[in-house]
Each structure stands twice: as structure tokens, then as C-alpha cells.
Amino acid sequence: MSEEIVGKGVMFLRLGRYEAAMEFFRKALEVNPNDDDAWAFEGISLKELGRHEEALKSFYKAFEIEPKSKYAILVATVLYDLKRYGEAMDFLNVVRDGGIWNKELVEVAALIMSNPEAKEAIMKEMYEKNKEEIEERIKREDEQFLKKCEEMDKGRPLKKYERNKEEMEELDKRDNQ
């Protein structure tokens, strides 16, 4: 029964009558709240109306009910439209790890990563998530480098640097007089 109601909604969707289409999709969901197609088509209607956050919820619900690549693409593209690039890539990674991966999903991931704004946002987000670990690693590497310098010829290069620095400061003083 819900398939017939969804079919009527799809007719309105194709005509660009998104509000009317949504009425049918919502009726179908009253009959069968687990109708993944009704959730997806409702999401498409909402997206066409510019209501991306609501569309995203509908697409997530469709994917939750029936994890199909077509729903994963819808989720990822809405996240992309909302400029939530990191979340889109995280979602696609979960989808890939879940074994739902195909050429279209690879293309969506490539589209996201080919956008310089998206790539920069994802890199910043990755840095923020791992900031403490990254900074700790840099600190360890700096400490190791200094230790090697001190061990190397018992610290003479550092002493030489300090001596050269003092000589340069003395020359600067003379030039400024």
C-alpha cells in the first residue's frame, strides 16, 4: 500500500510540485515508517525546497533502514552542499568500511577532495581532532634533535652558534654607533 502512495508522490516530485509530493511521502510513512524509499523521496523534495538539514535527516533515516549506496550518495552530497566536508568524508569512510562501496561513491569522495575549500577544511578538522597528538610528536622530535646536537661533538655546534651570535650582536652595536 505504501508503494502506491510513494508512486503518486514521485509523480508530483517529477512535476516539481515538491510540497504536494511530500504530503504523499509523509502519508506513506504513516502507513509504513520503515519505507526507505519514502524517506529518500521526502529528502529529495526537501532538498529541492532548499531545506537541506531536514533533507539530510530523511536521507540518514533511509540509509539507516536500508544501507544502500544510493542513499549514501544522497547523504554525502547534502553534507557537501552544507559545506560539512569532514563529516561527508567520515560518513563515506564508514560506508566503505561497511562494505557498501562502488564507483559512484568513489566519484563523490573524489569530488569532495578535489575542491580546495573542502580539502583545506578537512585538513584543519583532522588537525583539530589530533592536535594534542601532533604537538606531542613535534615536541618529541624537537627534543630528539636537540639531544643529537648536544651529543654531536659534545655540543660544539651549539656553542659555535652562540659565539657567532654574540659576535654578530657586537658588530651590530659597532655599526649603530
| Residues 30-37, mean pLDDT to the nearest whole number | 96
Kindly calculate the radius of gyration of the chain based on its CA atoms and give it in whole angstroms.
29
Give the type of residue at 113. M
The percent of residues above 70 in pLDDT, for the chain, comes to: 89
What value does the mean pLDDT take over residues 59-71?
A: 94
Q: How far apart are CA 70 and CA 105, in angstroms?
A: 9
Q: How far apart are CA 35 and CA 138, in angstroms?
A: 51
Per-residue pLDDT band at 8 (split at 50, 70, 90): very high
CB distance 39 to 68 below 8 Å: no
Across the range 87-93, mean pLDDT stands at 91
Q: Which domains does the chain have, with CATH numbers?
A: 1-66 (1.25.40.10), 132-176 (no CATH)
Query: In the numeric block, which cell numbers belong to residue 173?
Result: 652595536
> How far does CA 61 lie from the centroid of its chain?
19
User: What is the grid cell recorded at 23?
Assistant: 504530503
**How confident is the model over 126-168, as pLDDT tens digits?**
788 888 888 888 888 888 887 777 666 554 555 555 666 677 7
pLDDT reported for residue 144: 84
Grid cell digits, residue 3: 508503494
